[in-house]
A and B are shown apart, each in its own frame.
Chain A
Amino acid sequence: MAAKENVEKIACYHCGDDCVQEHIVFDGKDFCCNGCKTVYEILNQNDLCTYYDLEKNPGISLKSKKFDDKFAYLDNDEIAHLILDFKEKDKAKVTFFIPAIHCTSCIWLLENLYKLTAGVNHNRVNFVKKELSIDFNPEIINLRKLVELLVTLGYEPSISLEDSNKKHAKSANRGLYLKIGVAGFAFGNIMLLSFPEYFGFEGLEENIQRFISYLNMLLALPVFFYCANDYFRSAFAGLRQKFINIDVPISLGIIVLFVRSLYEIVAMSGPGYLDSLSGLLFFLLIGRWFQNYTYQGLSFERDYKSYFPLAIYKYIDGKLMSIPVSQIEKGDKINVRHQEIIPADSILLSAHANIDYSFVTGESNPVAKKKGEYIYAGGKQVGGSIDLEVVKPVSQSYLTQLWNNEAFTNEKDVSFETLINKVSKYFTVAVLGLALVGFAIWFADDVRKALNAFTAVLIVACPCALTLSAPFALGSAMRIFGKKNFYLKHVNVIEKLLKISHIVFDKTGTITYSQAGVVNYEGEKIKCEDYKNIKALAMNSTHPLSQLLAESIDENITDISLEKYEEISGAGLKAVVKGNTYALGNWDFVNTGTGKKYEFVDATQIFVAKNKSLLGRFKIENKYRDGIAGVVDSLKRKFTFSILTGDNKTEEKRLLDLFGNSTTYRFNQSPQDKLDYVIDLQNKNERVLMIGDGLNDAGALRQSNVGISVTDHTSSFTPASDAIMTSDALKYLPDFMKFARTSQNIVVAAFIISFLYNIIGIGFALTGKLTPLVAAILMPLSSISVVVFATSMTNLIAKIKKLL
């Protein structure tokens, strides 16, 4: 390793990164790269430096972000049309998803965009969804300029095939808010109007009493017909499939409440239970709202479309034109540039290409390709631009074919039954049984009393508290996980986690760091001076291995220039630095026949030579994430493991040390292999938790019972999964699994509490003493106490276990 120098770390004024590779001082401030400095200049000129006052170092690092004419395709009207929300002659509106939005300063700057450029009329940030909507005048500023401005500032919008497909759906929560509002309105008013009844005022005139009753009925109508319709629908759908879900007893309770109240009011035999009815729905809907909590900034549904570009350059009559990716046909000649994804299986027309297949295989090192070779879709070109001839259309290509698998067409895991639905079967039967018993006891005595007892049991047993226990206990647990950077798609993922018996890990990017590797040097001693020169050489290449090598050398270089720089893709690079020729690359490229021998190792290696004499080699090994050994240790007793990787067997020995003999290892796995492996396990009655990171795991993540995708940043794309986890949260996985169990126990405890209330209530009902007052007290009391219990217990235990 290079000699460590004691360099004081300087944080970039713009993005807060350490100024390691470059250090620019401008206007008395430190910047880590030219990009950051440029943004500062732009903001400074436009009096927008409040950006830096709102948060410290709010910017987004702009290292290695060059776009040249990357966005030229936006000039194409057809493509622009896909992105724009609407467009008229001098008015257009567009909404971008910008993953980089992360702080107050971001909102401030993006909403002040109109100060930076003419033609922008109005712009607004939705922080939760990380969206920026812009009204602009296309006659003054076009879409491409707008996007380029955002990119210059570090806020690159995500423009992908997927984003263009979905037009912005209205928030699904609006309907729920309306229902809660209506139910709350009815609940409050009916209860207020029922107060004379509660206190037993005798003096009330009969016509006033009747007026109040009919007014209550009027207020309850929207509750019954509007607020409750989701429950009726769900219960009906369940019954049609011969399946009793929790909505069946709820609907039964609601209908009986409503019908009996109606009857009592019309027959003038009593005031009815309309206050209980609206209170019940009010609480139920609040429970639903708590349960429906979602992380709007994250997407759990992404498929390959969100990785693929929207447009591609195609040769039409010898000229490069941008066309939408969906229009690519077999035989088209296309041009793909540095860091762009190849959208369809093709044949290489250029002499050389360097394809990074990490999306597809997880194998992190780029593969060199020669003219005429077959290139699979999903690879990323590294280096210069290349020409390709398309062999298969996008949807039929190697990678995208994975999405034609039935795992993606079927609804995921339909057989899964939540605890609440399991309980509801027995509950419904028991309640109906008891109601009939009540009916039978009173039948001999008085038919009217018998009917009263029958309906009273159904009313009081309506499982409101029962229904609320799971949403509030699990919903709180989900929020606690969220604070630890483990984001669930839905609360029922917690219940699914409990059933897991087998954990499948992907290797690259999941249990190892996706970028970093450990660089070890062996060979002749390298002088400090040489290290600097080697770093200068390595920095000049875009190849990930060179970048990694450059980063691993801890030297400050500022004034080293290269001469006769040469890079041969798939082989290596060389240049003259300060009079000496340095070469970096593979054995054939660097070996000059000096006769030195190296024993064969299964690691990625870079050989290095100075003036044609071989110095030694850098070995690059994967770096495992911190704490992964602890995770394995504490989960080993309860679960069996598998490791699937697209890599070769290089790392087998180290994996064995880490995971032990009882784990199954599979190497050289294609995305389809991973999917098949998970199906195999499931056929052996294993319930599989898949932890993966890339598009190559997409099939397995989808097929598994629970799929978790690991990502370094929540702003980067993750394939469709049940949960998203940042990589630093991976070490808490055992704690998450344990806490999932705890929260389920809390649900059970809350069930017991609500059963107790039901027993008390049924006692009243069977003896014919269920007055509207008792119902009006019992129902909110049981609901509120269960909600308080579930929420506070979950948070309390999380605090004790130090998860909060």
Chain B
Amino acid sequence: MSVIIILIIISVIVAAFFLGVFIWAVRSGQFDDTVSPSIRILFEDRKQEKSDEEKEENPGAQT
């Protein structure tokens, strides 16, 4: 039966890892603005090719 203790410990460690990820996400500001990223993800559809070319032209530019 004592194997269950090991299982519990492992499950809590896994859960704690996700808690850690959550804390990191909050700290790094991912919850500060929840609207703009949802809009941003839809950009660059139609002019995909063009903007790709442009990126090659100015490799220094970041999005």
Contact = CB atoms under 8 A, between A and B. Distances in A.
Interface of A: 47, 50, 53-54, 104, 107-108, 111, 114-115, 121-122, 124-129, 171, 173-174, 177-178, 181-182, 185, 188-189, 193, 205, 207-208, 211-212, 215, 219
Contacts of B61: 114-115, 121
A302 to B, nearest CB: 22
Interface string B20-46: 001100110101111110011011001
7 contacts: A121-B60, A122-B62, A126-B33, A127-B35, A174-B29, A181-B23, A193-B8
Contacts of B10: none
A189 B39 contact: no
A478 to B, nearest CB: 18
Given A104-B39, A107-B40, A108-B43, A174 B62 contact: no
A211 B39 contact: no
Contacts of A193: 8
B56 interface: no
Nearest to A127: B36
A127 B39 contact: yes
Contacts of B34: 128
Contacts of A208: 1-2, 4-5
Given A104-B39, A188-B15, A121 B62 contact: yes
Contacts of A108: 43
A185 B1 contact: no
Contacts of B63: 111
A298 to B, nearest CB: 14
A182 B26 CA distance: 12
CB-based closest 8 A-B pairs:
A127-B36, A185-B19, A171-B32, A126-B33, A177-B26, A181-B22, A127-B35, A128-B35
Contact of B50 (A47, A107, A114, A189): A47
B35 to A, nearest CB: 5
Contact of A174 (B15, B16, B18, B32): B32
Contacts of A174: 26-27, 29, 31-32
B29 A171 contact: yes
B52 interface: no
A610 B46 CA distance: 58
Q: Is the interface of A mostly helix, strand, loop or mixed?
A: helix
Contacts of B33: 126-129
Contacts of B16: 185
Nearest to A101: B36
> In the complex, which range does the number of interface residues on chain B fall in?
20 to 34
Contacts of B5: 208, 211
B12 A181 contact: no
A640 B50 CA distance: 64
Contacts of B26: 174, 177-178, 181
Nearest to A135: B62
A208 B46 CA distance: 60
A164 to B, nearest CB: 22
A215 B39 contact: no
Contacts of B4: 208
A173 B1 contact: no
A352 B26 CA distance: 57
A465 B44 CA distance: 47
Contacts of B18: 185
A187 to B, nearest CB: 11
B36 A50 contact: no
B39 A107 contact: yes
B39 A182 contact: no
Contacts of B36: 107, 124-128
A148 B23 CA distance: 40
A169 to B, nearest CB: 11
Contacts of B35: 127-128
Contacts of B46: 50, 53
A517 B31 CA distance: 46
A126 B32 contact: yes
A47 B46 CA distance: 12
Contacts of A126: 32-33, 36
A182 B61 CA distance: 39
A670 B33 CA distance: 41
A32 B63 CA distance: 32
A111 B33 CA distance: 15
B57 to A, nearest CB: 10
A111 B41 CA distance: 12
Contact of A189 (B15, B22, B29, B60): B15
A197 B59 CA distance: 61
Contacts of B27: 174, 178
A171 B1 CA distance: 48
Contacts of B32: 126, 171, 173-174
Contact of B31 (A111, A177, A205, A212): A177
Nearest to A204: B1
Given A108-B43, A126-B33, A185 B15 contact: yes
A215 B40 contact: no
A777 B32 CA distance: 34
A219 to B, nearest CB: 8
A111 B23 CA distance: 28
A136 to B, nearest CB: 12
A288 to B, nearest CB: 15
Contacts of A171: 29, 31-32
A177 B25 CA distance: 10
A181 B5 CA distance: 25
B54 A173 contact: no
Contacts of A124: 36
Given A50-B43, A208-B5, 18 more contacts: A47-B47, A104-B39, A114-B62, A121-B61, A121-B62, A125-B36, A126-B32, A127-B33, A127-B35, A127-B36, A128-B34, A128-B35, A129-B33, A173-B31, A181-B22, A185-B16, A211-B5, A211-B8
B54 to A, nearest CB: 7
Scoring A121, A181, A193 by chain B CB atoms within 10 A of each residue's CB, the highest score goes to A181
Contacts of A107: 36, 39-40
Contacts of B15: 185, 188-189
Nearest to A103: B39
Contacts of A205: 1
A121 B27 CA distance: 24
Contacts of B40: 107, 111
Contact of A182 (B12, B19, B43): B19
Contact of B8 (A111, A122, A185, A212): A212
Contact of B19 (A104, A173, A181): A181
Contacts of B50: 47
A10 to B, nearest CB: 26
Nearest to A49: B47
A49 to B, nearest CB: 9
A181 B12 CA distance: 15
Contacts of B29: 171, 174
Contacts of A104: 39, 42
A364 B46 CA distance: 48
A189 B33 CA distance: 29
A215 B1 contact: no
Nearest to A211: B5
Contacts of B54: 47, 115
A211 B5 CA distance: 8
Contacts of A114: 61-62
Scoring B2, B18, B36 by chain A CB atoms within 10 A of each residue's CB, the highest score goes to B36
B13 to A, nearest CB: 11
Nearest to A212: B8
A562 B29 CA distance: 58
Scoring B4, B27, B29, B39 by chain A CB atoms within 10 A of each residue's CB, the highest score goes to B39
Contacts of B43: 50, 54, 108, 111
A325 to B, nearest CB: 31
